[in-house]
Structure 1
Amino acid sequence: MTVLRKKPFFSMIIIILGSLLVLVPVYWMVATSFKTTPETFENPLTLIPRHPTLQAYKNIITSYSFGTFFSNSLIVVIGATLLTLFISTFAGFGVSRFNFKGRAAFLGFILATQMFPSVIMLVPYFRILKLYGLINTHMGLIIVYISFQTPLCTWLMYSHFETISKDLDAAASIDGLGQFGIFFRIIFPLSLPGIAATAIYSFINSWNEFQFALVLTTSDKMKTLTVGIGQMIEDTKVNWNEMMAANLLASVLLILVFLFCQNFFFAGMTSGSIKE
């Protein structure tokens, strides 16, 4: 009986420690963003800003082209997410519902693409985009993001479609529906949680991407938010209050997207673990 009582206690301790591990850096980011520049370098460090100010937020908006970086990220991320979702949804449906020669090899290839570090593709991507004049363009980044996100998103959608009984397809086919009719009228409504989970994954992955955006955009007018924030690190100093303010603003959109879609996200991520 004593052991059973101790288990919830130790579980609670682990949960609290894990929560602190996540929340303390977030609190420090928020607190630092409201400090003055001299206060961020004081020793000992202050946990609560003595004179809270919005000056750091004003500086990043007026001095670092934050609006341009933000709009570039938004354009690229929305474009990449929508196109990745379109491709991976139909690809996942096709692999799930059609038996064709090489199907198992195709699924294995999809997983194999996730075993290689993306950095090995930097030079090939750069040379291809330069050949077609797509360096420093939104479309260039969108194409790159689609190419390395589609395999995993296809696997996620395939796993989700596998949880939907194929008897529904057979019943709809008897009623006279073709494959497109079956997909749009039967499968698509049932797949919204999986589609939402895949969309959130693609959105967050594209929003946080740094290395491709750094290499494939050399013009300040085309840089994304992650690259723009990286440029705030100067040769001789780092204004930590401005850096934290920029990171906080960059995180707000992700937090809102996740809070709005969290039910779909968890439903979609867990549905793939159960097969009808």
Structure 2
Amino acid sequence: MKKVFWKISVWGFLLVVCFYCLLPFAWMFSTSLKTETEAFRIPPTWIPLQPTIDSYIGIWVRKNFGVYFFNSTAISLATALLSTFVGGMAGYGFSRFVFKGRRFLIGFFLATQMLPGVLLVGPYFKVLTKIGLYDTRTGLIIAFLTICLPFSTWMMKGFIDKVPVELDQSAMIDGCSRIGVFFKILAPVIAPGMVATILFAFLLAWGDLLWALCLTTSESMITVTLGIARTVGEFRIIWPMLMAGSLVGGMPAIILYIFLQRLLVQGLTAGAVKE
């Protein structure tokens, strides 16, 4: 009896959590299928009286969502891959080499994560303007790298620490260089950790609004999050289009997680059990 009660309690708790998490998405989807008039109806309706996909058509026709998606995808992918690669190399150096100032540098990398991004936007605006990279994808990638790189370095260092040094030594005895050891020996072993790092960096860059808002001006450089934010006007909010844009903008993250969740969980739990 106790066991049955425990199972019912656990499943009941899980159902409540799922309902709590999925309810906002259900409301967003319902609102995205409504007309603008019905979206303001009181009392509100969960099931649209006259379902329409005009809001989904509108974000692609009246808004340049194709351009926004391309910008966000290119910037987020470049940021994720570069930060993971550079962070992996830096993490390998911190993990395998002992040098003067190592502890200070590791601590400094951690300390940079404590700085709020709003403090860095002003200096970056001036720097990118001076070097001609303001309002460019390259400028945004460089800006996002400064946010993601310390995190990626710490993540990769933790994963590399769990790999025995003897693997490196065996490979180098067989004539492999340090770079070869990283790519041929370590990379396959820490692949789940690399996937987790790439995914976190991608989502961080994809969901950013502040840097995209301050470091871009032209329509051709707008990202998905900024495009969604601009559906909110000073005197009018088109709720169906806002909800449709939010759902479409969140799909890449959801799809990535669905396909990579196994590797993500492996990466996050790597080293959780001490051998």
Partner of 1:228: 227
Partner of 2:166: 167
Q: After the TM superposition, which of the residue ranges 9-18 and 243-252 deviates more from structure 2?
A: 9-18
Partner of 2:16: 17
Count of paired positions: 275
Partner of 2:31: 32
Aligned-pair distance for 1:193?
0.6
Q: Which runs of 5+ in 1 are unaligned?
A: none
SS at match of 1:69: helix
Separation (CA, whole Å) in 1 of partners of 2:217 and 2:273: 46
Q: Cα 1:154–1:272, aligned 2, differ >3 Å: closer, same or farther?
A: farther
Aligned-pair distance for 1:275?
5.0
SS at match of 1:39: helix
Q: TM-score, normalised by structure 1?
A: 0.94
1:64-83 counterparts in 2 under 5 A?
Answer: 64-83=63-82
Separation (CA, whole Å) in 2 of partners of 1:90 and 1:275: 24
Cα deviation 1:219-261 (Å, max 9, x = unaligned): 1221111111111001112111110111111111111111111
Q: Which runs of 5+ in 2 are unaligned?
A: none
Separation (CA, whole Å) in 2 of partners of 1:119 and 1:13: 42
Contact 1:156 1:272 in 2 (8 A): no
What amino acid does structure 2 have at the position aligned with 1:101?
Answer: K
RMSD of aligned alpha carbons = 1.6
Cα deviation 1:62-96 (Å, max 9, x = unaligned): 11111121111112112212211221111111111
Separation (CA, whole Å) in 1 of partners of 2:216 and 2:274: 43
1:1-276 counterparts in 2 under 5 A?
Answer: 2=2, 6-274=5-273, 276=275
Separation (CA, whole Å) in 1 of partners of 2:259 and 2:114: 32
Separation (CA, whole Å) in 2 of partners of 1:102 and 1:6: 57
What amino acid does structure 2 have at the position aligned with 1:84?
Answer: S
SS at match of 1:71: helix
Q: After the TM superposition, which of the residue ranges 172-181 and 97-106 deviates more from structure 2?
A: 172-181
Separation (CA, whole Å) in 2 of partners of 1:272 and 1:207: 28
